[in-house]
C-alpha cells in the first residue's frame, strides 16, 4: 500500500482511490461550474465538497487551461490564502493541496494550513520550489507538461508518450532526491491535457497502470477535460460528467491512488461502489 508522509510526519495511506475536489478561486477556469469569483463562494464550495466525501481539496488561484495567461504572484496569494484559512477554521482534518508552481505562493499557502503542493511544472518553473518543499516538510505532486499553459498545445509531439513520461518522472525523482526531498513526499501526475493531443491523453489513461512501476502514488486528473468531450462526440464541459465517472471507475480498477474531480459526490459514490465490487 502506497503512502505519503505529511508535514507532521504522520503517514497518509492510499488504501483505496481517494477523491480530490477541485476548488478554483478563478473567474476563467475551462469549466464554468468550477469558477468561484469570491472567497466566500470558494469556501462554501470547499465545505460542500467535504460534506460530500472529499478526501483532499485542491485550491487553485490561477487557471492553467490551454492558452491561459498567468496572474500575478500577489493576486494568486490573495486568492488562495484566505480560502485555506477559512477552511481550516471549519475543518482541521481535511487534507488541503494548493495548485501552484510559484514557491512564494506555496510557502504562504503552507503557513495558512495547506498540506500538499500540486505543481504542474514538477518544480521546474520556480527554482526555489524545492527549498520550500524541503524546508516545510510537505509532499508535492509532480505533474508532466511541456512549455507553459500559454503555448503547451502548440503541436506537442512524442515518439513514445509513455516512455518519455517514465523517463521524465525518473529524472524528477532523482532531482528531488538530490535536493533532499525524500521519496515518501512525492506523487506523480501524467498531466492529461497538458502538452498532449487527444491520442496521447487516451493512451495515458488506458495505460495509467504502467506508472505503478515508479512505486509512487499516482494522481489522475481528467475531470471534464477536452479528451472526454472528444471521446463522447465533442460534448462541452457541462456534459462530460458521465465520461468523467467512467474514467474514475477505470482508475479504481487500475488501483490508482487519487482522482482529481469537479463533482465530488458523484465520483465518491461511483468509487465507493467500485470498492464493493473489487
Question: With contact defined as beta carbons under 8 Å apart, do 98 and 80 qualify?
Answer: yes
Average pLDDT on 268-275 reads: 98
pLDDT tens string 16-29: 999 999 999 987 66
Cα separation of 186 and 23, whole Å? 22
Query: Across the chain, what does the average pLDDT equal?
Result: 94
pLDDT tens string 102-140: 999 999 999 999 999 999 999 999 999 999 999 999 999
| Residue 260 is a catalytic residue | yes
Confidence of residue 38 (pLDDT cuts 50, 70, 90): confident
Question: What are residue 51's phi and psi, to 5 degrees?
Answer: -60, -35
Residue 155 pLDDT more than 90? Answer: no
Nearest CA-CA partner of 83 in 52, 54, 57:
57
- Among residues 260, 268, 269, 278, the one annotated as catalytic is 260
Cα separation of 278 and 165, whole Å? 29
Provide CB contacts within 8 A for 150, sequence distance 6+. 67, 68, 69, 70
pLDDT at 28: 61
Q: Are strands 116-119 and 95-99 parallel, antiparallel or unpaired?
A: parallel
Cα separation of 255 and 143, whole Å? 19
CATH topology (fold) of 15-277: TIM Barrel (3.20.20)
**Domains of the chain, residue spans:** 15-277
Average pLDDT on 210-214 reads: 98
Rounded to two decimals, what is the model's pTM? 0.94
Query: Which sign, positive or negative, has the C-alpha torsion 139, 142, 148, 153?
Result: negative
Cα separation of 192 and 195, whole Å? 8
- Among residues 45, 172, 225, 268, the one annotated as catalytic is 225
Cα separation of 272 and 276, whole Å? 7
pLDDT at 37: 67
Cα separation of 193 and 141, whole Å? 16
Better-scored residue on pLDDT, 153 or 187: 187
Better-scored residue on pLDDT, 149 or 273: 273
pLDDT tens string 213-269: 999 999 999 999 999 999 999 999 999 999 999 999 999 999 999 999 999 999 999
Question: What are residue 63's phi and psi, to 5 degrees?
Answer: -70, 135
- Strand, coil or helix: what is 78? helix
Better-scored residue on pLDDT, 241 or 64: 241
Residue 190 pLDDT more than 80? Answer: yes
Amino acid at each position: 500500500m502506497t503512502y505519503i508522509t505529511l508535514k507532521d510526519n504522520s503517514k497518509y495511506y492510499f488504501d483505496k482511490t481517494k477523491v480530490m475536489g477541485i476548488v478554483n478561486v478563478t473567474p476563467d477556469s475551462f469549466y464554468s461550474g468550477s469558477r468561484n469569483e469570491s472567497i466566500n463562494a470558494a469556501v462554501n464550495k470547499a465545505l460542500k465538497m467535504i460534506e460530500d466525501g472529499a478526501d483532499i481539496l485542491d485550491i487553485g488561484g490561477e487557471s492553467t487551461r490551454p492558452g491561459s495567461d498567468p496572474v500575478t504572484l500577489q493576486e494568486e496569494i490573495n486568492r488562495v490564502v484566505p480560502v485555506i484559512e477559512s477552511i481550516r477554521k471549519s475543518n482541521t482534518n481535511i487534507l488541503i493541496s494548493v495548485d501552484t508552481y510559484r514557491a512564494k505562493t506555496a510557502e504562504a499557502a503552507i503557513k495558512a494550513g495547506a498540506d500538499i503542493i500540486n505543481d504542474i511544472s514538477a518544480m521546474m518553473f520556480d527554482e526555489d520550489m524545492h527549498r520550500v518543499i524541503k524546508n516545510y516538510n510537505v509532499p508535492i505532486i509532480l505533474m508532466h507538461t511541456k512549455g507553459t499553459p500559454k503555448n503547451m498545445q502548440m503541436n506537442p509531439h512524442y515518439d513514445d508518450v509513455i516512455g518519455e513520461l517514465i523517463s521524465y518522472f525518473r529524472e524528477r525523482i532523482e532531482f528531488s532526491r538530490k535536493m533532499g526531498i525524500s521519496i515518501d513526499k512525492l506523487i506523480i501526475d501524467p498531466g492529461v491535457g497538458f502538452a498532449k493531443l487527444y491520442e496521447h491523453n487516451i493512451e495515458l489513461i488506458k495505460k495509467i497502470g504502467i506508472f505503478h512501476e515508479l512505486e509512487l502514488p499516482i494522481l489522475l486528473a481528467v475531470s471534464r477535460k477536452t479528451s472526454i468531450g472528444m471521446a463522447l462526440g465533442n460534448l462541452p464541459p457541462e456534459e462530460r460528467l458521465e465520461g468523467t465517472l467512467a474514467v474514475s471507475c477505470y482508475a479504481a480498477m487500475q488501483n490508482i491512488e487519487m482522482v482529481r474531480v469537479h463533482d465530488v459526490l458523484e465520483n465518491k459514490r461511483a468509487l465507493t461502489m467500485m470498492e464493493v465490487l473489487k
